[in-house]
A and B are shown apart, each in its own frame.
Chain A
Amino acid sequence: MSFEPTTEPASATPALPGQKGRRALKTAGSFVWFVVTIALTFLGLLAITFFIGRVIPIDPVLAVVGDRATPAVYEAARIEMGLDRPLPVQFLDYVTDVLTGDFGMSVSTGRPVISDLARVFPATLEMATIGILMGIAIGVPMGVVAAARQGSWVDQTIRVFGLLGYSVPAFWLGLVGLAVFYARLRWASGPGRLDIFYDGLVPPVTGLMLVDTLIAGDYDIFWNALDHLILPASVLGFFSLAYIARMTRSFMLDQLSQEFVTTARVKGVPERVVIWRHAFYPIRIQLITVIGLSYAALLEGSVMVETVFSWPGIGNYLTTALLNADMNAVLGATLVIGAVFIFINKISDVLYRVLDPRAR
């Protein structure tokens, strides 16, 4: 499982602004284009999940009713699922259902998939957010330092560290983390979001445990939740850290080879200012893109980590559904993760162009 985002950040040289009026028109045009591409990509995602759910299985009815169903039950299910109608019609129905929030019922939980997803999603969001924050806080300075000392042992170490982010299986790192920090050192709490005896004490408001405990004013549970969160979030954070550090390093190297950096040195500007003000400042927007992509990748990566930590998020929901062959739940979770992923990807892509000072 690679945490590397599948799309690459925009290049460093955006178009310079033209006349104001033309630019406004262009902005409106690119906004329309943005919406169209997002819509098309979503449609593509739906087509893929539809394909997976209805076309690949040799007999989707059998998957739902089981092989001991009587012919009558089988036929009823077939008609209920709309499988007697032509594929394009079925696809249209499917799109309508999804757009109205009808993802079908989960076989394993017996509830509508959409309400299951709404319940589990905040847990994933919480973990991924803490993870990305850790990744930014450590990864960006690491990348800058590596670039500033290119070729030194610091740089080599950081480079290898960054490559480890591409080579270590997340589930393995999670297991090792549990063995070391939970079982041996007792520094962190074990699997789950809370200790068992705290379960259900905090009324869910946002679904984010850290926020809900603060709203309830229950600081004991807050610390317990944080204690449970820190290990899985660190595991996730490691992967975003590796990616962010790697990208920061490469952007910085790009900048440090520019003439204007030499200009700054010619002026007698201290190296610290050369690095942070002259080289880092221009790349901060590219970094926002990278961070966005990395965040999306973390939502995906949480599948493995959640499985290891029994974290009741969307990843865990997905793997449980996979093992129970609960196709509605699988496709629902795939759709939601896919949609969030696409959305963050596209947003990060555009954000760059909107925020760049050169386009002001």
Chain B
Amino acid sequence: MASARAWLLADSPTSRLQANLGRLYRITGMLLRNPLAAVGAAIVLALVLTAIFAPWIAPYSPVGQSLQDRLLPPSAEHLMGTDELGRDIYSRVIYGSQITLTIVLLVAVIAAPVGLVIGAIAGYFGGWIDRALMGITDIFLSMPKLILALAFVAALGPGINNAIIAIAITAWPAYARISRAETLTFRNSEFIDAVRLQGGSPARIIVRHVLPLCTSSMIIRVTLDMAGIILTAAGLGFIGLGAQPPLPEWGAMISRGRTFILDQWWVATMPGFAIILVSLGFCFLGDGLRDVLDPKQGDKG
């Protein structure tokens, strides 16, 4: 055990594997020593597990109606009470984690690579390509994200897929900015020159050498953005433009509970706690990652 630790923490690793594992070990160690980050990681892990094992965790079906059980307050039988159709809110919140996780993952999978590539191209080539791409990026960046997403959904039509597309459209520019800034810092460095001298094509240089170097700042940014994405998705659901009933999407559930907020408060509040918990988890984790991976960045933005 002690020797494994020494191997991981070696000052001069002898292989790339050892260097990478050592880095991972150090980062994990630092993350776990940071209490907020550890809590964040635990919450995100819990979200993933809940989404995967929802059918086994949830005591009831998320859509099974039972009209004689409608609007029951929280009890041992229904931990979070029941809604206006007698559905168990706890089970719906559990299943809702699948929707939230799907949205967050899809937005990240669509927006991050798009931003990454656009930024890297702009930074690597410079000149008018840079100016044109960054001009477009800046225009998107200076728009209000939520309003833009709303307008896109309005045109595309309500629904969870369109909500994901709309959020992704508003999310990529921030990533483009980051990857451009990162690319600029090592565009003229010697190791890139070396690859160029070996005859590496621009595409190869960008994909194999530039993009990997952007990943750590990208991971931080994406993690920090998760909370915003979750809130936007929930907001679209709340307005009625996101996930449609009977899907147990948290924002849409709050919207349904709105009618009963004064007397049956649990219908609207319970899904809200789930949103807060998960968003907070991503915030904590992102904050912690930033402290560990990029200490000089402080907590601006």
Contact = CB atoms under 8 A, between A and B. Distances in A.
Let me know if chains A and B touch directly in the complex, using CB atoms closer than 8 Å.
yes
A163 interface: yes
Contacts of A337: 144, 147
A167 B155 contact: no
A205 interface: no
Given A44-B139, A171-B254, A250-B298, A322 B272 contact: no
B143 interface: yes
A172 interface: yes
Contacts of A346: 142
Given A7-B142, A325-B154, A330-B154, A303 B275 contact: no
26 contacts: A1-B235, A4-B228, A6-B143, A7-B142, A40-B135, A44-B135, A49-B151, A159-B36, A166-B228, A172-B254, A172-B275, A175-B261, A175-B268, A176-B269, A179-B265, A179-B268, A253-B298, A297-B144, A301-B146, A303-B146, A304-B235, A331-B151, A334-B147, A338-B143, A338-B148, A341-B144
B182 interface: no
Nearest to A249: B299
B203 interface: no
A8 B138 contact: no
Interface size for chain A: under 10, 10 to 19, 20 to 34, or 35 or more residues?
35 or more
Given A41-B138, A160-B36, A168-B275, 13 more contacts: A2-B232, A7-B142, A48-B139, A170-B231, A175-B268, A176-B269, A250-B300, A297-B144, A307-B238, A318-B147, A322-B150, A327-B155, A338-B143
Given A56-B156, A166-B283, A172-B254, A330 B143 contact: no
Contact of A1 (B36, B136, B156, B232): B232
Interface of B: 36, 135-136, 138-148, 150-156, 173-174, 225, 227-228, 231-232, 234-235, 238-241, 251, 254, 257-258, 261-262, 265, 268-269, 272, 275-276, 279-280, 283-284, 287, 298-301
Contacts of A169: 231, 234-235, 238, 251, 254, 272, 275-276
Nearest to B224: A166
B160 to A, nearest CB: 16
Contact of B147 (A57, A160, A249, A338): A338
Contacts of A2: 145-146, 225, 227-228, 231-232
Contact of A175 (B147, B231, B258): B258
B12 to A, nearest CB: 32
Nearest to B166: A52
B150 A303 contact: yes
A178 interface: yes
Interface string A292-315: 000011011101100110000000
Contacts of B173: 6
A342 interface: yes
A183 B227 contact: no
B142 A6 contact: yes
| Most chain A beta carbons < 10 A, residue from B140, B141, B151, B153 | B151
Nearest to B40: A163
Contact of A163 (B235, B272, B284): B284
Residue from B154, B254, B269, B280 having most chain A Cβ neighbours under 10 A: B154
Interface string A331-343: 1011001100110
Contacts of B272: 168-169, 172, 175-176
Contact of B300 (A44, A247, A301, A318): A247
Contacts of B227: 2, 166-167
A9 to B, nearest CB: 8
A45 interface: yes
A97 interface: no
Contacts of B136: 44
A163 to B, nearest CB: 4
Ordered nearest first, which 5 A-B pairs have the shortest CB separation?
A: A44-B139, A2-B228, A167-B279, A172-B272, A300-B144
Contacts of B144: 6, 296-297, 299-300, 337-338, 341
A90 interface: no
B89 to A, nearest CB: 14
A175 B155 CA distance: 28
Interface string A34-58: 0001001100110011001100110
A41 B138 CA distance: 8
Nearest to B169: A48
Contact of B151 (A4, A52, A160, A164): A52
Contact of A330 (B151, B225, B261, B300): B151
Contact of B276 (A1, A159, A164, A296): A164
Contact of B238 (A48, A183, A297, A304): A304
Contact of A6 (B145, B235, B240, B275): B145
A46 to B, nearest CB: 10
Contacts of B251: 169, 171
Nearest to B272: A172
A246 interface: yes
B199 to A, nearest CB: 39
A195 B8 CA distance: 68
A249 B300 CA distance: 10
A336 to B, nearest CB: 10
Contact of A164 (B225, B239, B262, B280): B280
A333 B144 CA distance: 12
Name the residue in B235, B258, B276 with the highest tally of chain A Cβ atoms < 10 Å from its Cβ. B235
A312 B147 CA distance: 17
